[in-house]
């Protein structure tokens, strides 16, 4: 039986889907059997990040009973992908109460099921969190995002979904940002990944190729690798800043 991990955030724009897709690639390259699932039934876009634009069968058809699970699974970059379609009419037919059943079937044949959840706390997001064993919370180092993720964590606790930890994403090492330690204290959860702001990420999104594939030596790629190794239990160090005095120096300037 494999491990299911819901990648969740409180709002759109945090980089959650980018984290999900690149983390999946890291785990696959580490020799794991990985499937990534787009659980955002209404606003799907994960397939665009994995250069998988045109597909005939998706999660929508599986949830509506119009297709078998195996017919909706594709593969790219060594990762199995279960995309969700962009058709609103098909989204309306999808039965969210079948999600947990789909998750269980997938984890019987994979090492890791990565679930890219919808942002926020609508019924589709809660259904994805409820069906997953674990959650990884993506947070930007700003107060509005931290407050939103606080709500996600509380709901995860109520659902008995184990929170593996926090991924602090789009870190610019600016004095106005909350540090990982400050975020940990507020959310009462450990940080297992810090992903710096990196222009390579924007370029990779534009090309529809994971940044870990496009430029494995980039700052973001090295950070997502450390996150992947921590998920695997290999205890890579978390690097919050290149210079331990950098934050203080910015304040004094």
Between CA 15 and CA 13 the distance in angstroms is 6
Hunting for tokens 């699970």 — which residue is that?
A: 69
Residue 59: domain span: 3-252
> Which pLDDT value is given to residue 237?
63
Share of the chain above pLDDT 90, in %: 81
Region 54-80 average pLDDT: 95
DSSP assignment of 44-100 equals: --HHHHTT----S--HHHHHHTSS-GGGG-EEETTEEEE-----HHHHHH--GGGHH
| Number of domains composing the chain | 1
Indicate the DSSP class of residue 236. P
Confidence grade of residue 78 (pLDDT, cut at 50, 70, 90)? very high
Between CA 235 and CA 227 the distance in angstroms is 9
Q: Which two tokens stand for residue 246?
A: 């950098």
The sign of the torsion formed by the CA atoms of 90, 96, 100, 101 equals negative
Q: Are 161 and 6 in contact (CB under 8 A)?
A: yes
pLDDT tens for each residue of 154-186? 999 999 999 999 999 999 999 999 999 999 999
Between CA 5 and CA 193 the distance in angstroms is 15
Q: Are 46 and 20 in contact (CB under 8 A)?
A: yes
Local structure of 114: helix, strand or coil? strand
Q: Are 26 and 212 in contact (CB under 8 A)?
A: yes
> In CATH, what number is assigned to the domain containing residue 243?
3.40.50.300
Global pTM reads 0.92
Range with the lowest mean pLDDT among 50-59, 73-82, 109-118, 200-209? 50-59
């Amino acid at each position: 039986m494999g491990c299911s991990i819901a990648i969740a955030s409180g709002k759109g724009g945090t980089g959650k889907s980018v984290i999900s897709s690149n983390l999946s690639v890291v785990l696959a390259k580490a020799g794991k059997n990985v499937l990534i699932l787009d659980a955002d039934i209404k606003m799907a876009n994960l397939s665009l990040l994995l250069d998988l634009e045109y597909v005939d069968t998706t999660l929508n058809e599986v949830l509506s009973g119009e297709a078998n699970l195996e017919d909706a699974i594709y593969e790219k970059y060594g990762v199995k992908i279960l995309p969700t379609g962009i058709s609103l009419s098909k989204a309306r037919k999808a039965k969210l109460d079948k999600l947990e059943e789909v998750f269980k079937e997938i984890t019987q044949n994979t090492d890791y099921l990565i679930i890219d959840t919808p942002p926020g706390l609508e019924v589709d997001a809660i259904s994805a969190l409820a069906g997953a064993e674990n959650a990884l919370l993506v947070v930007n180092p700003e107060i509005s995002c931290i407050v939103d993720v606080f709500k996600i964590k509380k709901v995860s606790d109520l659902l008995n979904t184990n929170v593996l930890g926090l991924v602090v994403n789009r870190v610019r090492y600016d004095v106005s940002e909350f540090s990982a330690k400050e975020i940990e204290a507020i959310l009462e959860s450990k940080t297992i990944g810090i992903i710096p702001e990196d222009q390579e990420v924007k370029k990779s999104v534009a090309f529809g190729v994971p940044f870990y594939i496009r430029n494995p030596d980039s700052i973001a790629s090295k950070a997502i690798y450390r996150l992947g190794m921590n998920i695997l239990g290999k205890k890579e160090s978390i690097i919050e800043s290149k210079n331990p005095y950098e934050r203080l120096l910015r304040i004094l300037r």
